[in-house]
Chain A
Amino acid sequence: AQTVTQSQPEMSVQEAETVTLSCTYDTSESDYYLFWYKQPPSRQMILVIRQEAYKQQNATENRFSVNFQKAAKSFSLKISDSQLGDAAMYFCAYKGRDRDDKIIFGKGTRLHILP
């Protein structure tokens, strides 16, 4: 069965600095999708970024980018120029290619932004 591991329960970063959140996963599939979700204090989960496993190019969305290492089964999220609004719980997630595959979430990393 697929698993998603986020080994950092909490992290802190100074405002305007760069931080990287780690995520590893386990799968025997070659084609799948990976996601990073953000859950701010408002509780509303929103998608930050997604990556297709068959694409070698790392996805980027403004200040958010990923470092996707398929062989290592690693999918880290880099947040550049951290802002106070980035303070949230971040969840890494995996979805297999089968239509019936459910999305599997990691346990999350709580990110604190220090002013």
Chain B
Amino acid sequence: GAGVSQSPSNKVTEKGKDVELRCDPISGHTALYWYRQSLGQGLEFLIYFQGNSAPDKSGLPSDRFSAERTGGSVSTLTIQRTQQEDSAVYLCASSRQAQMNTEAFFGQGTRLTVV
């Protein structure tokens, strides 16, 4: 299991329900990112975790969105009271931040559809 793993790969939910998206980063990677990507569009930064530092939450679009990272490893992105505009692919990435030249490794994403 060398890559970033995201689950579920697809999620269909009813408007108003809460959803949790999971990301298992590569072992030893201290940095973890969440992005949102609408159909055919670019990456929208959501949140960034780096080691023990306070997370950078500047990209979260509303207070319905939250994320946590337990034990410096697995992260969960939670969307409360989902809306149709939340439908998108949610991508997680991790990197070994101790080195400046390290790139981010991405998971396959979770496609969220709110109906």
Interfacial residues, chain A to chain B (CB-CB below 8 A): 31-33, 35, 37, 43-47, 50, 52, 89, 91, 93, 95-97, 99-100, 102-108, 110
Interchain CA distance A108-B41 in the complex, whole Å? 8
Partner of B103, one of A35, A43, A52, A97: A35
SS of A interface (majority): strand
A43 touches B100 (CB 8 A): no
User: For the complex, is B25 an interface residue (Cβ under 8 Å from A)?
Assistant: no
B97 touches A110 (CB 8 A): no
Interchain CA distance A99-B97 in the complex, whole Å? 6
A43 touches B33 (CB 8 A): no
Interchain CA distance A96-B109 in the complex, whole Å? 25
Interchain CA distance A33-B100 in the complex, whole Å? 7
User: For the complex, is B53 an interface residue (Cβ under 8 Å from A)?
Assistant: yes
Q: How many residues of B contact A (CB 8 A)?
A: 26
Interchain CA distance A95-B95 in the complex, whole Å? 12
Q: Which residues of B contact A108 (CB under 8 A)?
A: 41-43
Residue of A nearest to B35 (CB): A105
Residue of A nearest to B59 (CB): A102
Interface string of B22-48 (1 = CB under 8 A from A): 000000000101010000111101001
